[in-house]
Amino acid sequence: MTMHKTGPVSVDAMIEDLRTLVETESPSRDLAALTESAKVVAEVIESRLGGQAVLVESEAGPHVHWSGGGDPAVLILGHHDTVFPLGTLERRPFMVQGGHATGPGVFDMLGGLVQAVHGLATLDDRSGVEILVTADEEVGSRSSRALIEARALACGAVLVVEGAGEGGALKTGRKGCGTFQVSVTGRASHAGLEPAAGVNALTEAAHQVLDIAALARPDRGTTVTPTVASAGTLDNVVPAEATVVVDVRVESADEKERVESAFAALAPHLDEAQIAVTGAVSRPPMPESASAELFALAKTLLPGIGGTAVGGGSDGNFTAALGVPTLDGLGAVGGGAHADHEYLVVDAMAERANLVAGLVRARQGGRAEADETA
């Protein structure tokens, strides 16, 4: 494999590539946009690292996979889908001003991808390194999970280039998260003439919301939050149907099991009402023990860097649940994920790129030592 010329990271070059990625809009589930985005991501990787970035087709859009050759030793994990609909770029174009880069996806997580690629470009030896950039992280990673898990197990260590925590902290733990939907079926009737002849799905849904909210255990780090509800058709009709959507976050596998069992056991309060529950805690918790080894290494490379456990999930949840050492939050320093004020701190880009490179170099050295003593 031909390796491109190495050298110190260039912030100007990183900004150039970041602009290219941001200006290729990539909303989740938009297959045409994601196909174009995957091609651009592959071109950026190949232009900086050489070799071939392979597009892995899926029902959610193409994932991008690159390998530096040799025995797998470390997986750089990210995604190229974003939460912003087409047209956001026109309203909020890419800009660099006042030390911040702004635009849809700069922090979550295109900046992290660029930093990782440019960090790797400083290494003379890129053997054992793999990059996987998926197309569906923002919508649950259903099409990419098996590939993520397979490459993580093969590599034995995962560096997730999601945006950093507050103050640039690495993300050493994440809650497991999932979405449930409770569907209520009642019976319609005239709200004025025969209200008692109906079975009010909205009233039943109100009972369910209270039961569901009571499942939270803040002392255990478990949040159970009803977030979206819908019911009814007309103001004079007893509603025959209602739905409630619920966001769930848990810190432990025990809580995952408890909450899932509780949702399965939900029962109607009104005679003749029926309920159906779908969903699960689809991303298992990422315990801080999964990041301990890599976080300790990061602190030797960048003394003073902090670590934090967060409520949001990432694809690192999947790899950590397999027992693969996983360190998250290695991407951009900034904030405003999923919001109009999303930003990336330009002055931190080189430091973060070099941190990724240092972790990869250490992982390569550790694998070599293990091979010599085997």
User: Reduced to 3 states, what is the DSSP secondary structure of residue 139?
Assistant: helix
90 catalytic per annotation: no
Burial group, residue 217, by CB count within 10 angstroms (0-12, 13-18, 19+): middle
Q: Are 361 and 123 a contacting pair, CB within 8 Å?
A: yes
In order of 126, 151, 184, 293, the CA distances from 324 in angstroms are 21, 11, 40, 11
- Please give the angle made by the CA atoms of 159, 122 and 303, to the nearest 5 degrees: 55
DSSP assignment of 44-86 equals HHHHHH-S-EEEE--TT--EEEEE-SSS--EEEEEE--BSPPT
Catalytic residue among 17, 137, 315, 342: 137
81 catalytic per annotation: yes
Q: How far apart are CA 114 and CA 40, in angstroms?
A: 12
Helix (H) or strand (E) holding 111: helix 111-120
Residue 210: both structure tokens together: 């209270």
Q: Are 295 and 157 a contacting pair, CB within 8 Å?
A: no
Q: Are 200 and 270 a contacting pair, CB within 8 Å?
A: yes
Place of tokens 């900086």: 48
Q: How far apart are CA 269 and CA 207, in angstroms?
A: 7
Q: Are 246 and 225 a contacting pair, CB within 8 Å?
A: yes
Q: How far apart are CA 275 and CA 138, in angstroms?
A: 28
Residue 72: both structure tokens together: 């797998």
- Please give the angle made by the CA atoms of 237, 238 and 240, to the nearest 5 degrees: 110
Catalytic residue among 81, 108, 138, 255: 81
Active site residues: 81, 137
